[in-house]
């Protein structure tokens, strides 16, 4: 796989969350991530994909492979045009949920990945970008 | 490889095996299929075989914990068997807990634990 591979998965129905997981598993494996690292990335993708479906009802997961010198990695970007996150600090509090979930999606995904960035604005949607670098 | 849940009665317990990467509909079917089967067969508990499972996200974990709680209400005990190391590590880092369940290395260990469980119950009577 070259360093500019990329793609996208639409998240519109519940089963698309599983479809996104399958794509992420394939990408992570092809980059050379091990079993546990792949499980971390796929789990983070599942949490973030479910957030898109639950809070915005639809959106897109964009994925691309990364290369920084000798280090390779993967970037996942979850974009939706939903209501946005009203209180980001609150959204990162363990156990806080406005959607009837366990409130571990965002903080959990952040722990599982190396980097996370969030852009959100009220009424315009949310973009969550996460990256994982392969340890050599 | 089947993507569906398999439900079997083995000795005095229900053996429920989850597929590698179940979608949300399959995960929620775990609850109804397990409880229906619990009612149908007179069993002492549930062994939930996760040996094929490659990812346990918060939704899946919550469903497992809730199912275990319901099994407890029905008088049974739940054993989680065969969780892979990568899944155990990831679930812990994510922050999920499995509630009122006992975890065992594999299905054999769970089956070994069940007779002890029933003997203990008889002894206590």
pLDDT digits (tens, 9 = 90+) for A37-84: 999 999 999 999 999 999 999 999 999 999 988 899 999 999 999 999
pLDDT of residue A100: 62
* Overall number of domains in chain A: 1
Contact B95 A39 (CB under 8 A): no
* DSSP code, position A56: I
* Total domains, chain B: 1
Confidence label for B1 from pLDDT (cuts 50, 70 and 90): very low
Could you say which of B24, B84, B86 has the minimum Cβ distance to residue A14? Answer: B24
Band of pLDDT at residue A3, cut at 50, 70 and 90: low
Closest chain B residue to A48 measured between Cα atoms? B57
Q: Structural domain of residue B113, as residue ranges?
A: 6-123
- pLDDT surpassing 60 at residue A94: yes
Task: Tell me the helices (H) and strands (E) count for chain B, helix number first.
Answer: 4, 5
Residue B1 lies in a domain: no
Q: How far is B108 from chain A (nearest CA, A)?
A: 25
- Supply the pLDDT for residue B99: 77
DSSP symbol at A135: P
Extract the tokens encoding A56: 């915005």
Distances B86 to B8, B48, B89 between C-alpha atoms, Å: 26, 18, 5
Which residue in this structure is represented by tokens 């008889």?
B122
CB < 8 Å from A in window 98-117 of B: none
The residue range of the domain holding A66 is 6-133
How far away is chain B from the Cα of A53, in angstroms, using its nearest Cα? 12
> How close, in Å, is residue B65 to chain A by CA atoms?
12
Residue A67 lies in a domain: yes
Q: Quick check: B120 pLDDT over 80?
A: no
Q: Is residue A89 part of a domain?
A: yes
Identify the pLDDT of residue B113: 83
CB contact under 8 A, A14 and B25: yes
Mean per-residue pLDDT over chain B, rounded = 87
The per-residue pLDDT for B82 is: 95
Task: Establish if A1 belongs to a structural domain.
Answer: no
Q: What is the pLDDT of residue B112?
A: 86
pLDDT value of residue A90 = 83
Kindly determine whether residue A36 and residue B86, on different chains, have CB atoms separated by under 8 Å. Answer: yes
> Domain containing B24 — which CATH number?
3.30.750.24
Q: How many angstroms separate the CA of residue A15 from the nearest CA in chain B?
A: 6
How many interchain CB pairs under 8 A, A with B?
77
User: What's the CATH number where A23 sits?
Assistant: 3.30.565.10
Residue B78 within any structural domain of the chain: yes
Q: Which of B115, B103, B117 has the alpha carbon at shortest distance from B47?
A: B103
């Amino acid at each position: 796989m070259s360093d500019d591979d990329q793609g996208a998965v639409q998240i519109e129905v519940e089963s698309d969350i599983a479809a996104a997981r399958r794509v992420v598993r394939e990408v992570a494996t092809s980059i050379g991530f091990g079993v546990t690292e792949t499980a971390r990335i796929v789990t983070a993708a599942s949490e973030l994909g479910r957030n898109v479906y639950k809070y915005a009802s639809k959106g897109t997961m964009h994925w691309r492979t990364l290369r920084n010198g000798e280090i390779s990695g993967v970037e996942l970007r979850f974009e939706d045009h939903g209501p946005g996150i009203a209180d980001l600090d609150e959204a990162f509090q363990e156990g806080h949920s406005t959607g009837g979930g366990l409130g571990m999606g965002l903080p959990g995904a952040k722990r599982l990945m190396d980097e996370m960035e969030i852009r959100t604005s009220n009424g315009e949607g949310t973009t969550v970008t996460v990256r994982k670098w392969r340890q050599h | 490889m089947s993507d569906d849940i398999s439900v079997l009665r083995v000795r005095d317990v229900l053996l429920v095996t989850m597929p590698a990467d179940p979608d949300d509909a399959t995960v929620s079917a775990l609850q109804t299929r397990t409880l229906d089967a619990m009612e149908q067969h007179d069993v002492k508990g549930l062994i939930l075989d996760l040996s094929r499972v490659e990812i346990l996200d918060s939704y899946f974990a919550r469903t497992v914990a809730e199912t275990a709680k319901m099994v407890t209400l029905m008088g049974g005990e739940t054993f989680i068997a065969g969780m892979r190391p990568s899944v155990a590590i990831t679930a812990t880092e994510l922050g999920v807990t499995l509630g009122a369940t006992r975890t065992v290395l594999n299905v054999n260990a769970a089956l070994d634990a069940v007779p002890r469980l029933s003997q203990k119950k008889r002894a206590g009577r």
